[in-house]
Amino acid sequence: DAGVIQSPRHEVTEMGQEVTLRCKPISGHDYLFWYRQTMMRGLELLIYFNNNVPIDDSGMPEDRFSAKMPNASFSTLKIQPSEPRDSAVYFCASRRQGTYEQYFGPGTRLTVT
Amino acid sequence: DAKTTQPPSMDCAEGRAANLPCNHSTISGNEYVYWYRQIHSQGPQYIIHGLKNNETNEMASLIITEDRKSSTLILPHATLRDTAVYYCIVRVAFGNEKLTFGTGTRLTIIP
């Protein structure tokens, strides 16, 4: 089992640029989650999907953030335009329906200058 | 979800049992206690969960008090690789997918 895969692992971009983060959940998992971690706010849930459908996006900070899940094996989190305050580590996690644990990916460290 | 309170940091000698406490005095009857940990620069890792009975798996044991207002995560023989931030989370099992991570306990294993 390869685990949750995220790419890129590190991203450095300039303010105003579009950033796309990618996630491949564990095969067979029905839920996919996007989290953001900063020193100030800790680890917070941005959005989650069930069977590719967005269920709760109340954690998405603003319209500059969007997430998609076109199929069961791929999701993207896009920031357009990016701002320095978006600098954080973004984690993707997945879970199989009927089980309790979420499996987290290694994260993408985003730096916006 | 019920709020949890954990000490900000703890030390434990290598090879000894690490006991991490968590208070959750407002826990509801249908809420579970979950423990996750985050090793530096990695994603959080699920450890264990329980409702009211004590639980044990290959990683740890979870002891929940009879009134369910507090719990203790036990790592029986701590190693240096157990140095991490440990999060105690209370939530219903299904229907609410949000895991609300607090500030956790930073556990340092001392050689």
Nearest CA in chain A to B39: A106
Q: Give the three-state DSSP class for B12.
A: strand
In this prediction, residue B70 carries a pLDDT of 96
The pLDDT tens digits for B89-104 are 998 766 677 788 889 9
In this prediction, residue B95 carries a pLDDT of 67
Tell me whether residues A100 and B34 touch, CB distance under 8 A: yes
CA atoms within 13 A on the CB side of A39: 2
Which residues are paired to B23 by β-bridges? B5, B70
CB-based contact, B97 to chain A, within 8 Å:
yes
Q: Which residues of B touch A102 (CB under 8 A)?
A: 44, 46, 99
**Which band of pLDDT confidence, cut at 50, 70 and 90, is reported for residue B53?**
confident
Q: Which residues of A touch B99 (CB under 8 A)?
A: 45, 102
Buried-state track B60-82, b at ≥16 Cβ within 10 A, e below 16? bbbbbeeebebbebbbeebeeeb
Q: Which residues of A touch B45 (CB under 8 A)?
A: 104
Please determine, for residue B1, whether its predicted confidence score (pLDDT) is greater than 80. Answer: no
Please determine, for residue B27, whether its predicted confidence score (pLDDT) is greater than 80. Answer: yes
The pLDDT tens digits for A47-77 are 999 999 999 999 998 899 999 999 999 999 9
In this prediction, residue B30 carries a pLDDT of 87
Q: Which of B89, B96, B108, B98 is nearest to B36 (CA)?
A: B89
In this prediction, residue B107 carries a pLDDT of 98
B84-92, strands of its sheet edge to edge: B9-13, B105-110, B84-92, B31-38, B45-50
In this prediction, residue A98 carries a pLDDT of 86
In this prediction, residue B91 carries a pLDDT of 86
Q: Which residues of A touch B42 (CB under 8 A)?
A: 106-107
CA distance A82 to chain B (A): 23
In this prediction, residue B99 carries a pLDDT of 83
Average pLDDT, chain A: 95
My answer on whether omega of the bond before A8 falls inside 30° of 0, hence cis, is yes
Q: Is the pLDDT higher at B95 or at B36?
A: B36
Q: Which of A70, A69, A93, A84 is nearest to A19 (CA)?
A: A84
Tell me whether residues A100 and B101 touch, CB distance under 8 A: no
**Which band of pLDDT confidence, cut at 50, 70 and 90, is reported for residue B68?**
very high
CA distance A79 to chain B (A): 21
Q: Which of A79, A37, A73 is nearest to A52 (CA)?
A: A73
To 10 degrees, the CA torsion angle through A43, B44, B10, A42?
A: -10
Which one-letter amino acid corresponds to residue B30? N
